[in-house]
Every structure is written in structure tokens, then in C-alpha cells.
Structure 1
């Protein structure tokens, strides 16, 4: 593996983001991949780092804590417009005209918005366990956590999570352990989700009370022309297979990979197959 560079990068509005760039090699220029983490206000760059570090022999892999997450500034705005500008700032900071964009779960929605607006800047798109319609996701996720027999939840607290009405960081911290099993395939309750956690309830609240009610790219998917890999776990109850089937059916140059033994995170549940699938896509469609 080539060098790993950890940096604090200033955005155009003065906010500082915590960034890690893997595979940087001044002697051998490599294409850039930017990976966007899931769950703003909860998950950190450690999640996409774990998923995509294996590519650093062939790519420069850039991961970052989104604003309001991890070690980045807890400063808004947290809109998708702002996320998109941040991604473009990081693209320019890394010196790339075109790049591969990858997103997991909520990060995938930001990637879809980016691809709809700036597809000409992409050489590839990787979407993992994501969705196209915010309200549909909110209702699906809430229904899943309230009806799954494995879970014993505080109903009012889960309603606050999925509608963006958390009281404070402690409220968020108490809500997430209640639902961990729902992210894993049957018979496996060892979700890795919270090993990446850093609770910032204000970020989560904005994502689900402002961004998600406005997010809907269903009718714009046909306009995404970049080669796209769509990944989903067969047992994902938060973003079920039908969500990814819709994406793959609607984006012209796309392929769908269903991981039969995975839940919400195929990169962790079936890591070897995930790495093989991603590398084959990048080798045949991007490199």
C-alpha cells in the first residue's frame, strides 16, 4: 500500500473536514475514488476506509468525515447542496478532473444527487444499500424497526430517530443499540455499525427532518450515464432489495450485485465477495 495522508481540508465556506487519502503515490499517478460514509452524525470515515482501503494499490482512495460528523467541524449547513460542494472541493484538493464516487446507505443518496447534477465529472459510481426516495425510506425503516420480533425498542424514541426529532446526543446514543440486529443478516447480531459511531444528533435531525422529505431522484435516474455498480444485501430490511433493483433498472449503464448472505453492509458481511465484485467492476468499466 502506498502512502496514507491524513489532513484537515478547509471548504470554501471556512468549515474544516477531516480527510484521509490512501494510496497516494507521487511517482505513479492513480485515479481517484471518493467514498461517502453512511448516517451523517453517526458514522465516520472509518466505515468507507474499511470498505475501500483494499483498492489503494490501484486508486487514490479519499474518505472523509462529512460536516457535522466525526472529527470534522460541527457546522452547517447540512443540506445535500452543501455536501455536493464539499465533495467537489475535495475533488479539486486531490487534483482530479474525474473520479469514482462511492456511497453507502445515506451516503448513496448524496452520490445520486451528485451524479444527477455533475455526472460529467464522474468516471464511475458505486451505490451500496441505498434508496431514491426519502419519505419511502423513512417509512420503510420505521416500519422495520417497530415490527421486527428480534427488537425491543422505545417506540417514541425510534419515531424521533427516523423523523429527525432527537432530543439530544444522549437520545441518539440510547436509540441505536436498540436496533443493531436489524442491520445484520439472520443469525448474526455482530453489526459493525457502532464501531464507527460518533453521535451528533443535530446532524441526524437535519438529515431526516429537512433533507429526506425533499429527496426524490426516481425520475432522474435515467439521466445518469456513468457506469454504475449497485450493491445490496439480500437480508437488508432498512433498504430492501427492491430499492436497489429500481436503481439498477433505471440507470442505463448499471449492474446489480445482490449479496445473498448480507444485511445492510455487504462490505463487512461478505468482504471477499465485495472486494472481488468492486474490483471487477472498476477493472472492466473504469480503469
Structure 2
């Protein structure tokens, strides 16, 4: 069931009952990237999967990542109904979640940052600039292969043609201007000096073979956060919840048990 939050600006799917668990999708994907794990999670939580601002039916935000984080903080407050929320962000959704936790310290009781970080390396920054330039000049179709490589290893792509066809179609539905702006923001992002403001427990996790946000970014993030643990998901790349749903659920289950017991 879809619902609107943040004054009708954020569209989200909601299933299940219990403590609110928000799942924020990546830049190169959409909220359907959580379809394989949301049913299991909704047995123990009220799972809310928004479309980030500018995606799907959620209205875009005029401004940078901080403004997007503020909009999503409104959505989390609305969806939490006064209860403590858990926020899980994957990729771009992780950067939004981290910025939200910095700017709104009481927004969540726990945070899960999957394949994210606090700042990119110089080559990582340049990769975003290159994607933005190519997308502006030639459209998203010109960088679809690059985008898919950042999500999945070539071997996985070859073994899952139907999934890859679906993911390509989802990526091509992205608003090109929203994509370009997000790339520009990520190319300049550096949240390292602000991580001490994040007081809630954080699970930092990353796919072993993630090329988009490589494991060293997660190692750095976990080391700089006041209360964080790190998990590496073997055999996975940037979207482990799509590549290996069972491994993804196993990786987060212990961390979630402080709020609710995951079903067997």
C-alpha cells in the first residue's frame, strides 16, 4: 500500500506492523531493489520504502543533499508516529540517511548504512563527474552499462539476464536532471568532520566486490562513527539485497534484534 509523507511530497510503500523500518534506495536503482527482502522484514516491522525525492512519484527538492535529507527527515517523522524508527540506506540512500542523522540526531534509534561512506576518493569523485557529464550530453542510455557495472559484477550480470533487464529499465526511468544533480553533490561530499554528531548505534555493511562505494569507504566510516560495527558481505557488490537477499537479511538480523526478533 502506498502512502504519502512529508506534506504529500514523499511517496512510499508500507507493509507490516511493528516498529517503523525505513529502506532508502540507491541512486542507480529504485525502491524495487528491496522487493526481495521487504516481505521477510515486514513480518517483524512496519516496513516503509520511500521513493527518494525526484524518483517515482516523490517530488524533487530544490537544493543539495542536506535539503534532501531534511525532506526525508520529515517523512521519517511522519511515518514513525512518535515511535523510534530504524533507517537503512543503500548507496545514495545511505548518504541521505547519514546526512539526515547528522542534521536530525533524534530522527532514528538505529542506522544501517549499506554500501555507503562519508567521502569518496579522488577517482571516485571523478567517476561521478564523468557520469554527470556523459548523462547531460547523451542521456542516461549512454551510461547504462557503466551504471550496471557499478551495481553488479559482470559474472552476476551474465548469470541473471532477466534481473539485469529489469534493473536497466528502472535506471532509464530516472529523471536525468535529478541524476546529474545527485552525481554533482556526491562528487563534492565530505561528511567526515561531522560524524561525531551521529550518536545512535550504526551498522556499516558493504559488499565485498562493491566498485561504486568500495570497502575502504565503509572501513573509514565505521572507524569514524562513535558507535558502529562493520560487516563485509561476501560475494556481493553494491546492492546486496538484490544480489543475495538471504545474506543481506542475515547480515542485519543481529543488529535489528534489539528492536524486534527476526523470523526464522
1:149 paired residue number: none
Which among 7, 20, 23 is matched to residue 3 of structure 2?
7
Q: 1:62 to 1:106 in 2, by over 3 A?
A: same
Which among 68, 78, 81 is matched to residue 83 of structure 1?
68
2:174 paired residue number: 199
CA distance in 2, matches of 1:164, 1:101: 32
CA distance in 2, matches of 1:196, 1:78: 24
Which among 131, 135, 144 is matched to residue 166 of structure 1?
135
Q: Write the deviation string for residues 124-153 of structure 1: whole angstroms up to 9, x where unpaired.
A: 10011112115x3x732756xxxxxxxxxx
Give the alignment of 1:123-162 within 5 angstroms: 123-134=109-120, 136=121, 139-140=123-124, 160-161=130-131
Kindly name which structure, 1 or 2, has the bigger radius of gyration based on alpha carbons: 1
1:46 shift after superposition: 1.4
Q: What SS class does the counterpart of residue 16 from structure 2 fall into?
A: strand
CA distance in 2, matches of 1:22, 1:164: 38
Q: Write the deviation string for residues 16-66 of structure 1: whole angstroms up to 9, x where unpaired.
A: 332111114xxxxx1111111110xx5322123444342111111111112
Moved more, 262-271 or 102-111: 262-271
1:86 shift after superposition: 2.1
The answer to whether the 8 Å contact 1:43/1:69 transfers is: no
Q: 1:140 to 1:91 in 2, by over 3 A?
A: closer
Q: Does 2:17 match 1:33?
A: no
Q: What SS class does the counterpart of residue 20 from structure 1 fall into?
A: strand
Q: Write the deviation string for residues 55-83 of structure 1: whole angstroms up to 9, x where unpaired.
A: 1111111111122112323x431522322
Gaps of 5+ in 2: none
CA distance in 1, matches of 2:187, 2:150: 23
Q: 1:58 to 1:7 in 2, by over 3 A?
A: same
Q: Output the aligned Cα RMSD.
A: 2.5
The answer to whether the 8 Å contact 1:184/1:263 transfers is: yes
Q: Does 2:148 match 1:180?
A: yes
Q: What SS class does the counterpart of residue 105 from structure 2 fall into?
A: helix
The answer to whether the 8 Å contact 1:173/1:199 transfers is: no
1:97 shift after superposition: 4.0
Q: 1:89 to 1:164 in 2, by over 3 A?
A: farther
2:78 paired residue number: 93
CA distance in 1, matches of 2:66, 2:194: 16
Length, aligned pairs only: 252
Q: What SS class does the counterpart of residue 188 from structure 1 fall into?
A: helix
Q: What SS class does the counterpart of residue 57 from structure 1 fall into?
A: coil
2:242 paired residue number: 268
Which among 6, 23, 40 is matched to residue 16 of structure 2?
23
Q: Write the deviation string for residues 84-113 of structure 1: whole angstroms up to 9, x where unpaired.
A: 232232223321342111111111111111
CA distance in 2, matches of 1:7, 1:87: 14
* TM-score of the two chains, using structure 1 as the length reference: 0.78
Gaps of 5+ in 1: 25-29, 144-157
